[in-house]
Amino acid sequence: MTDSSALPSSAVRTPPEIIAGIIAVSAVASAFICWLVYFHTPTDVTGTQLRSLPLVNAVLNALSTVALLAGFRFIKARNISAHRAAMFTAFFFSSIFLVSYLVNFALHGETKFNRLSAWWPFYWKLLASHILLSVIALPMILITFFLSLTGRFPAHRRLAHYTYPIWLYVSITGVIVYWMQSAIH
């Protein structure tokens, strides 16, 4: 049996149970969000508590977007430490966003968009792509971070080529969805 610590990082196999665990946690999180959005009765239907959470969520998404763009620029310049700091910053803002998003939905429920609006056909397609890709992004982000933190850089790079554009799209469309909802209300 070979000691995995003696192998180069490209030869270290990622334990399938770790990946399965990340995917399972992501699936549970997505199911919880689905329940919260579509089945949970909001606790503050009148919207008197923490009414600014949607704006906070948009700002957190925008900050995550800025950090993602900086991280991409840093890795292209081969500035690994700055790239790592930027990606941890994006992860931090996205994590705080997720907590704020959950609190907002627990309190206020789903935001209704006027289906008679001329923007409705564009809005629902944007929102659907945002939701679908956010569900896909969560495990990809976690696995990409795991690969980096455990020194599996070739695998990290391969997966990051897919994770980055999806994460960036979800962050940007989160801001656009907020802007559209606030403009219609």
User: Quick one: what percent of the chain has pLDDT higher than 90?
Assistant: 61
Q: Which residue has the higher pLDDT, 15 or 67?
A: 67
Q: What is the mean pLDDT of the chain?
A: 87
Cβ neighbourhood burial of 112 (10 Å; 0-12, 13-18, 19+): exposed
What pLDDT, in 10s, does the model give residues 80-99? 999 999 999 999 999 999 99
Whether 6 is in a domain gets the answer no
Contact indicator for 30, 138 with CB cutoff of 8 Å: yes
pLDDT higher than 60, residue 2? no
Please check the confidence at residue 3 and state whether its pLDDT lies above 50: no
pLDDT band for position 47 (cuts 50, 70, 90): low
Q: Higher confidence at residue 101 or residue 161?
A: 161
The answer as to whether 155 is a domain residue is yes
pLDDT over 50 (residue 140): yes
Residue 30 lies in a domain: no
When divided into structural domains, the chain yields a total of: 1
Domain assignment of residue 8, yes or no: no
Domain span at 141:
52-184
What is the Cα–Cα distance from 166 to 161, expressed in whole angstroms? Answer: 9
Whether 29 is covered by a domain: the verdict is: no
Question: Which amino acid, one-letter code, is at 64?
Answer: S
Residue 159 lies in a domain: yes
Q: Does the residue 42 lie in any domain?
A: no
pLDDT of residue 136: 96
- Domain membership flag for residue 64: yes
pLDDT for position 14:
79
